[in-house]
Copies of this chain bind each other. A is one copy, B any other.
Amino acid sequence: MNIYDIAREAGVSITTVSRVLNQSPNIRQETRQKVQAVLEKYHYSPSPIARGLVKRSMNAVGILSIDIRGIHYSQTAYAIEQELHRLGYRCQLYNTGREPEQQRQYLEMIADNLLDGIILIGSTFQTPAFEQLLKQYLPGCLPVLFVNGSFPLPNVYSILSDDHRGIFQCVEQFIARGRRHILFVRDNNTDSALRKERGYRDAMTSHGLTPLIIEGEDSINGGANATRRALELCPQAETIFYGTDRAAVGGIQALQQLQIPVPAQVELIGFNNSQLCEVTCPALSSLDNHLDQMGLQVAQILHRLLQGEEAKKISICTPVLAERESTRRH
């Protein structure tokens, strides 16, 4: 069943059918209804492929993350899909992994002009290698929206969470509460991790306190190990910040094993305000970087760009403490 069949059955030309399909205004009520009737009779819906061929667009956008199983990635992807669907786009999902070669393969596949735009989720993409791939594979000015990262390329737009400021302000909050022995467990070497670390460091030094940063990994075990080391280095620790919720979960487990009461003796603060925060016992306080809103925004910005409108190259939102039991002393 194609547009010709409909046209024949309705006794009009295919152009007319196309017109009612696309809500063209220049059409007589009578004709429109006649066509509508046939359309509905056959539950006809036009081929997006044929339309795509002539419009040079499939209204499709690619969502890339290294691994959608990452809890905050899936949360962001969800928000993006919901909004993009509302706006009439289809979302393609790509889990690129961390390997440059695999990432290259994905970009090569994506470079075939099927997509109208691309959304990168996660600062893990912010590597020179990936920037190179982007330059190499992405046809001209296909818009790329980067959640939590940025590249100095003309077609790349960023939504950043101001991790530095978020941590800075939050550390200040705890200093105001009278804490002095505040530590920071940093995870990987992503750009985002560095910004967090600096936020912590700056807040501490600007209040005349000595920062203490412990190397860790973004994993439960990594967080647990780092926490144990932290307490050896600084047994008087009162408050520990972590670069991710996952690492903070490890922290809670480590403290529990050491029989150190949380939050009575040590308070913990994660980052991302993900589902994990409700899972731990006590529930984990965390810096909320508004993944839902970032997802929403990124979808809307992309939509605007695709409509030919302008958009800011960088949008920023500041994380805010979502407080739960792990920092609530009674």
Chain A residues within 8 Å of B, Cβ to Cβ: 43, 45-50, 52-53, 58, 60, 63, 67-69, 71, 74-75, 77-78, 81-82, 85, 90-95, 106, 108-109, 111-114, 220, 249, 252-253, 256-257, 275-276, 278-281
Shortest beta-carbon contacts, A-B, top 9: A74-B74, A93-B93, A49-B52, A45-B112, A253-B281, A279-B279, A48-B114, A69-B78, A91-B93
B-side contacts of A45, CB under 8 Å: 108, 111-113
- Contact: A220 with B279, CB < 8 Å? yes
Is there an interface contact between A281 and B281, defined as CB atoms closer than 8 Å?
yes
A49 touches B114 (CB 8 A): yes
Known: A94-B85, A256-B281. Contact between A74 and B63, CB under 8 A?
Answer: no
Tell me the nearest residue of chain B to A111, going by C-beta: B45
Contact, CB under 8 Å: A92 / B94: no
A78 interface neighbour in B90, B95, B280, Cβ under 8 Å: B95
Which residues of chain B are within 8 angstroms of A47 by Cβ–Cβ distance?
Answer: 53, 112-113
Instruction: Return the chain B residue nearest A284 by Cβ.
Output: B279
Given contacts A48-B114, A53-B49, A281-B252, contact A71 B71 (CB under 8 A): yes
**CB atoms of B78 and A67 under 8 A apart:** yes
Contacting pair B112 A275 (CB below 8 A): no
Given contacts A68-B68, A220-B279, A257-B281, 12 further A-B contacts (CB under 8 A): A47-B53, A48-B112, A48-B114, A49-B58, A53-B53, A60-B92, A68-B74, A71-B71, A74-B74, A92-B92, A279-B279, A280-B281
Q: Which residues of B contact A93 (CB under 8 A)?
A: 63, 77, 81, 91-93
Cβ contacts under 8 Å, A74 to chain B: 68-69, 74
Give the docked Cα–Cα distance between A89 and B233 (Å).
Answer: 52
What is the bound-complex CA distance between A79 and B202, given in angstroms?
42
- B90 and A92 within 8 A (CB): yes
User: What is the minimal beta-carbon distance from A179 to any residue of chain B, in angstroms?
Assistant: 24
B residues less than 8 Å from A253 (CB atoms):
281
Q: How far is the CA of A51 from the CA of B95 in the complex (A)?
A: 25
Inter-subunit contact B71/A275 (CB<8 Å): yes
CB<8 Å pairs between A and B, sample of 15 = A43-B111, A48-B113, A48-B114, A50-B53, A53-B53, A69-B74, A69-B275, A78-B95, A85-B94, A91-B92, A91-B93, A220-B278, A249-B279, A280-B281, A281-B281
B68 touches A77 (CB 8 A): yes
A81-B92 Cα distance, complex, nearest whole Å: 10
If the complex has contacts A279-B280, A281-B256, are A78 and B68 also in contact, measured as CB distance less than 8 A? yes
Closest B residue to A219 by beta carbon equals: B278
Q: Which one of A63, A249, A278 has the greatest number of beta carbons of chain B within 10 Å?
A: A278
Identify the closest chain B residue to A60 (Cβ).
B92
In the bound assembly, the distance between CA atoms of A69 and B220 in angstroms comes to 20
